[in-house]
Amino acid sequence: MKKSFRSWSMATLLLAGIVTVTACGKNANENSSPSQEASKKPTASQAAVSEKLYIPIICKGFQHQFWQSVKIGAEKAASEFGAEISFEGPETEEQVDKQLEMLQAALGKKPSAIGFAALDSKASIPLLQQAKDKNIPIIAFDSGVDSDIPVTTASTDNKKAAALAADKMAELIGGKGEIAMVVHDQTSRTGVDRRDGFKEQIESKYPEIKIVDLQYSGDPLKATDLTKAILQSHPNLKGIFGSNEGAAIGVANGVKESNKTGKIIAIGFDSGKAQLDAIRGGVLSGSITQNPIGIGYETVKAAVAAIKGEKVEKNVDTGFFWYDKNNIDSEEIKAVIYE
């Protein structure tokens, strides 16, 4: 009796698993455009252009809402151009190794092209070389790769965007004083570009502003404690910059917990509910947002063009915006910020 119960429950579990998996598979197909319904066979052989295009998109970590918006853009382009995409990424933006495994797995599925947002701009090069050898076009997005293998890079010019944050910071603190930075990591292209873009702009254009501290964390809790320590050790600090969603949430929390709301100019990067609330509540003075939907859309669009052998620009600048209390509810900004 006991044994049969056990084997039955095992069988039920297995069955449930299979049903879920097939249901998910079905879902993915339903998303595809009706014109391509006939060729439902998913990417069995080396992709010929006439067959359904399969483009795996590998992002950096799907917990931030930013990537959900990129996904929306990618899906929009996929249905417009009749491609099939998959969208995945490691759980946190520190897991370079996990992401490389995903890239490896994607290569094994004989895709028509791959969209890839590198967590570590150098570590992925050997795998990208493999893709090149197999004639699979790589479309870099969000952050570039230190190599000329990708046919194009669809991204925000992070250096320029961070320079805009620096200009706003200078404007808001009145052109002089001490400021600090919390940067989300030391290895990714976006981390490096936003850090350098902000720093170089301050150093070259505003000689009376001094960057007195620079720390790294994209974990909201750690960035909170970090911000508080920075505020503690620099009582004259006038402004602080957080370089992504996690870092900016941390900066906002740290300013709030130190009771410095309104006394410190805090500027963020990216978007998300916590950041929008912080801007509306006056904790953050403003933030830079990229255009994540545009990034996803341009990535898939460029991938399709590359597969068809059309000429693609080496860089697709997907744009960025400054938003604050005054324009947060405008139509232009609403389209590019995400909750």
Interface residues toward another protein, by CB under 8 A: 61-63, 65, 68, 91-92, 212-213, 215-216, 219-221, 224-226, 228-230, 232-233, 235, 249, 253, 257-258, 272-274, 277
Give the residue ranges of DSSP H helices in the chain. Answer: 2-30, 65-81, 96-108, 125-133, 158-173, 189-205, 220-233, 245-257, 273-280, 292-307, 331-334
For residue 31, the minimal CB distance to another protein (Å) is 17
Tell me whether residue 24 or residue 49 sits nearer to another protein (CB atom).
24
Q: Least distance in Å: CB of 102 to another protein? A: 15
Provide the minimum distance between the beta carbon of 233 and another protein in the complex, in angstroms, as a whole number.
4
- Residue with smaller CB distance to another protein, 258 or 315: 258
CB of 172 to another protein, least distance (A): 24
For every residue of 209-235, DSSP letters joined together read EEEEEEEE--SHHHHHHHHHHHHHH-T
- Measured CA to CA, the distance from residue 150 to residue 314 in angstroms comes to 9
Signed CA dihedral, 131, 303, 297, 183: sign only: positive
- Smallest distance from another protein to CB 320, Å: 23
Confirm if 294 and 77 have CB atoms less than 8 A apart: no
| Closest-CA residue to 190 (of 234, 136, 153) | 153
Give me the least distance between CB of 137 and another protein, in Å please: 28
45, amino acid identity: S
Residue nearer to another protein on the CB measure, 45 or 259: 259
- Of the two residues 96 and 229, which places its CB atom closer to another protein in the complex? 229
For another protein, the closer of residues 158 and 275 by Cβ is 275
Q: Considering beta carbons, is residue 91 or 203 the nearer one to another protein?
A: 91
Strands 177-183 and 209-216: parallel
339 Cβ neighbours under 8 A, 6+ residues apart: 65, 271, 272, 273, 276
Closer of 25 and 281 to another protein (Cβ) = 281
Count of beta carbons in the 10 Å neighbourhood of residue 174: 11
CA 14, 18, 20: angle at the middle one, nearest 5?
Answer: 115
Q: Cβ 13 to another protein, closest distance in Å?
A: 14
Question: Which of these, 291, 303, 309, 313, lies nearest to 84 by C-alpha position?
Answer: 303
